[in-house]
Structure 1
Amino acid sequence: MAFKERVFSGMQPTGSLHLGNYLGAMVNWIEMQKTHECIYCVVDLHAITVWQDPKELKNAIRQVTAAYIASGLDPKKSILFNQSQVPEHAELAWVFNCVARLGWLNRMTQFKEKAGKDRENASVGLYAYPNLMAADILAYRATHVPVGEDQKQHLELARDIAQKFNNDFRDGIVEKGYADGIFFPPPDPVITGPATRVMSLRDGTKKMSKSEPSDMSRINLMDDADAIADKIKRAKTDMEPAPPSGLEELGARPEIDNLVGIYAALAGISKQAALDLLISTATEGPSIYTGLKRALTEVAVARLGPIRAEIIRLMNDPAEIDRILADGSKRARAIAGPIYAEVKDVVGFVRS
């Protein structure tokens, strides 16, 4: 059976969204809604795998929703909702808990990184997180999932779960009219965008992250012009006396590579063109990167300033955000509900 092409992706409402989220994911989301049926989720169930203050979580859900819209996601073109309003996510995740194998989850590197040395005190939710992610995707039979490199392993697990479910329940799937035995199509990753991996402003070898202790390591979508300028001014470069002469040398100098890549993505030009700008504006002495940082500040403020203003406007009307989420969840359930009803039949549950 040929399944309709459908896109699914989401972000957690933990901490303010930053430039890495915007360039690494949201720019691509915005483009995909022009050509695909898109479902974009605020994954609040994933957020509580570590403890969240309930009052702050509600505000964070609304702020991430506002950031989605302010960045260019159209809730009329795409389905935009928060995960906890669609119970099929959690119910299908339990089915997948019984399909997935412990050995598969034991290989997930993100759990090891997030749990650290104190693994025995990590929540079961954090451990089983990839199964819920698989349910997020497969509840809609999404065929394409825009993800960062750090989530690729989880998507591979979702493909394994889809294939095992299809194998385990093949007879019932065929009886439901799926002659080829495929109930869940294995989703494909989409790893594209102007800057698929934006790095920390303090360490060019680490990804820009909401969890990094220093706020100076990232540019948040809610940063004002002064904050953006200060962070870029203080961004780490290196001690080399001259700028890189070409892309190959640039790649060996992670901090400069990161700044050039960010500038190229925000300005909508090639990395080579951004490097040419760096070379043309470089000066002698410790301030050789002043020209690049000045240009980066200008383009970052111009690109992010309107997004920040729109987030603030939307946050002043939380009832409108809640209305958008409620409408999105209704539309999401219209897709996920019938699919999960068939899951119940295939698995052998009794339903009215």
Structure 2
Amino acid sequence: MADISMAASDPAMALVADPEQRRRTRNLWEGIARVVVGAPLLVVQLNLLYDSSAWLQVIVTLVAFYGIVTGLGMLVRGVFGSHVDPATWLSVVWMAAVLVFVFLQLGGLFDELTADFGNREQPPQFSTHEPLGTDRVGKSVMNQAIQGARVSLIVGLGSVGIGLAVGTIVGLVAGFFRGPTEGVFNVFTDSILAFPALILLFTIVAIFGGSVLVVTLALSLLSIPTMGRLARANTLTFSAREFVTAARAMGASNTRILFREILPNVALPLASYAVIIVAVVIVAEASLSFLGVGIDPISTPTWGNMISEGRQQTVLQDAPHIVFVPGVLMFLTVLSLNRIGESLRGLWDPREAKL
């Protein structure tokens, strides 16, 4: 009792006696140190080392990002404790920041995409009105990157939303009624999955054009079999559970069992998996644009179209930021969506998270 009272009266002894507090304090100071080192390195690379060796730029940039990302993670653990997953919270913050900039552009900010040939291929400089530089025709790289984020989110959420809605319904029906219904479902999904996805997307875009709507519908066609199979597998599992048997014994109709008993249990794993599929769809849309068969680059800038400019060697040598900025933004967005999806899956299905 005397030791406890002494520790309570002496802050230094309390700090030593509490290992969690020691860890939080160490994480806090180490996180601050890493961010303090990483952020200036990134500023130096963008403002002083832009015309230096490409290898030096890559090394400095990687070290800077490593310091900033790991430092922010340690700051989160230092403030909220070691039980908090900093990767998930940083992913949520990143996605929230992306959404904020997208809505700001919808409100009239960051929407200037006029060419300025007198201001071509300007490097990123935080002290100017173009902090992320300009492209080959003088357009703002930052404004184009925000526009690309908006297009990626529209395509990703739209296609996965359609695939989730249609796939859930057909998967529920196939898994619940079985028999001929399940046979037709298997033939449909196997046919789409067996066909090369890239060739199917090329064909649809070549026939109907490279608009946002066409690309969204084409990618939704590919997401329906995946969502349907996941819904069917979960329906088969929950159809054999006791609450479904009890509902049948009480005289509940098939429609009530499907939408009141099974669907609420199937929806949560589907929703967590859908977040991961959104990340896959964003990469697929960027790949189509990079190959020149996606969304029209003249009317609608996308991350894939911006990265596609890097196929010219002069761009990578003289203005690497044109490729680097959208590439980093897409990498962080896809990484964040994957992390959020994995966290939701662990939250809603702890048994699967342990596998």
Give TM-score scaled by structure 2 length: 0.24
Structure number with higher helix proportion: 2
For the pair shown, which has the larger CA radius of gyration, 1 or 2?
Answer: 2
Structure number with higher strand proportion: 1
Give TM-score scaled by structure 1 length: 0.24
- Greater RCO, 1 or 2 (C-alpha within 8 Å, sep 6+): 1
